[in-house]
Amino acid sequence: MAEFDIIARYFAPLAGPGARGLQDDVAAYAGQVLTKDILVEGTHFLPTDPIDLVARKALRVNLSDIVAKGAQPTAYMLGLVWPKGTRDETIANFAQGLAAEQALSGVTLLGGDTTVGPLLMISVTMFGRPGPRGIIGRGGAQVGDRVFVTGTIGDGLLGLKAAQAVPPADDIAARPYRLPQVALDIETVVAQYATASLDISDGLVADARHLASVSGVAIELHANKIPLSDFGQLAKAEGRLVDLITGGDDYQVLFTVPPDDVEAMAKAVPAGRQVTDIGAVVTMSDKGKVEVIGTDGHPLTIGPGGWDHFA
């Protein structure tokens, strides 16, 4: 069974008020937004990744869910499973990574649990304060809205390949995998202007489909507008664009903005933060459909494309 089918079949019936049908990036509870993401050694990071970056990544993948909802991250709880015999120095470096990320994002630690097990696992539950319009969900996109994405796409995938060669801690090719470039300061823009928003954890196309299907619309993206890093441009030149846009965990924010608000939104983007118009919300017979138009004007052929841990 696929990951989303498991959630829909076994867990959605247990969900209470505020769970948002288990179809959003966060839950709403007691005036707060909450999210949880787990990192497992060998699945979400490599045993050879620098441990301070693993700690920072564990916070970032949660921070991206919170800011994508237009909420301000505030605090987190931390569950840790360490392999038996882990050295104090490793845990000290891990804690240093958390400290660095706390300083950048403003979150603080509330509590957690520390135990041992067969491999390193990090479970974070993060809290945030919603913006003035409340949680920006996946369901508000309207036909005519423009579609925007932060940062660049595909670097998580390329970074994994680089990280597998176990380069030095500061290797720039592996960096986007080891420490995703989350748009930490985008929440005010999302809170004010977005009609729908989510973070990209399953690949650009798959997450655009999630947004389109909850909103009951279709989305048309333009291949040549999708922002790529220098490494991404090289991969595209080798014909790997579809890999980049279906490749998984970029932790960038994808959001929709009504055409009349685009100019004001662009002015509100924090200095140094990249936000790119990559397409539009359109009507198509198929709700939830995402088409990526290639340079020849025809839609690219993309399979079910999207990350599924159970596939």
| Interface residue list for Mg ion (CB under 5 A) | 25, 65, 199
- Of residues 25 and 291, the one with the C-beta less far from ligand ADP: 25
Please identify, using beta-carbon distances, which residue of 28 and 241 lies nearer to ligand ADP. Answer: 28
Regarding 201 and contact with ligand ADP (CB under 6 A), the answer is yes
Alpha carbons 170 and 192: distance in angstroms, whole number: 36
Q: How far apart are CA 75 and CA 102, in angstroms?
A: 9
Nearest-angstrom CA–CA distance, 7 and 65 = 18
Q: What are the b/e assignments for 33-43, b being 16+ CB within 10 Å?
A: bbbebbbebee
Least distance in Å: CB of 69 to Mg ion? 9
**Residue nearer to ligand ADP on the CB measure, 22 or 293:** 22
258/194 Cα distance (integer angstroms): 8
Coil, strand or helix at 86 = coil
Residues binding ligand ADP: number (CB under 6 A): 8
Q: Which of residues 108-167 bind ligand ADP (CB under 6 A)?
A: none
- Least spacing, CB of residue 84 vs ligand ADP, in Å: 26
Q: Which is nearer to ligand ADP, 24 or 101 (CB)?
A: 24
1, 2, 5, 11: which one contacts ligand ADP (CB under 6 A)? 11
Asked if 187 is part of the footprint of ligand ADP (rule: CB under 6 A), the reply reads no
126 sits in the region (left: phi over 0; alpha: psi -120 to 50; else beta) called: beta
Separation in Å, CA 127 to CA 18, 76, 77, 160, 241: 14, 6, 9, 28, 35
Nearer to ligand ADP, 135 or 162 (CB): 135
Contact 222, 299 (CB under 8 A): no
Cβ burial of 285 (10 Å; 0-12, 13-18, 19+) is exposed
Q: Tell me the C-alpha distance between 213 and 191, whole Å.
A: 21
- Map residues 89-118 to x or -, x wherever contact with ligand ADP holds by CB under 6 A: ------------------------------
Rule CB under 6 A: is residue 25 a binding residue for ligand ADP?
Answer: yes
Work out which of 49, 52, 65, 220 binds ligand ADP, going by CB under 6 A. 65
Q: Which residue's CB comes closest to ligand ADP? A: 25
Phi, psi of 271 (to 5 degrees): -55, 135
What does the alpha-carbon distance between residue 309 and residue 129 come to, in Å, rounded to a whole number?
30
**Which one of 7, 46, 268, 282 is in contact with ligand ADP (CB under 6 A)?**
7
Closest CA to 28 of 116, 143, 161, 133: 133
| Residue 22: CB minimum distance to Mg ion, A | 12
Which of 19, 46 has the CB closer to ligand ADP? 19
Only one of the segments 19-27, 116-124, 182-190, 272-280 lies at the binding site for ligand ADP (rule: CB under 6 A); that segment is 19-27
Encoded tokens for 285: 């017979």
CB 283 within 8 A of CB 291: no
Supply the minimum distance, in Å, between the C-beta of residue 200 and ligand ADP: 9
Min dist. Cβ of residue 7 to ligand ADP (A): 5
Asked if residue 37 binds ligand ADP (CB under 6 A), the reply is: yes
Residue 101's binding partner out of Mg ion, ligand ADP, none, with CB under 5 to 8 Å set by partner kind: none
Interaction site with ligand ADP (CB under 6 A) = 7, 11, 22, 24-25, 37, 65, 201
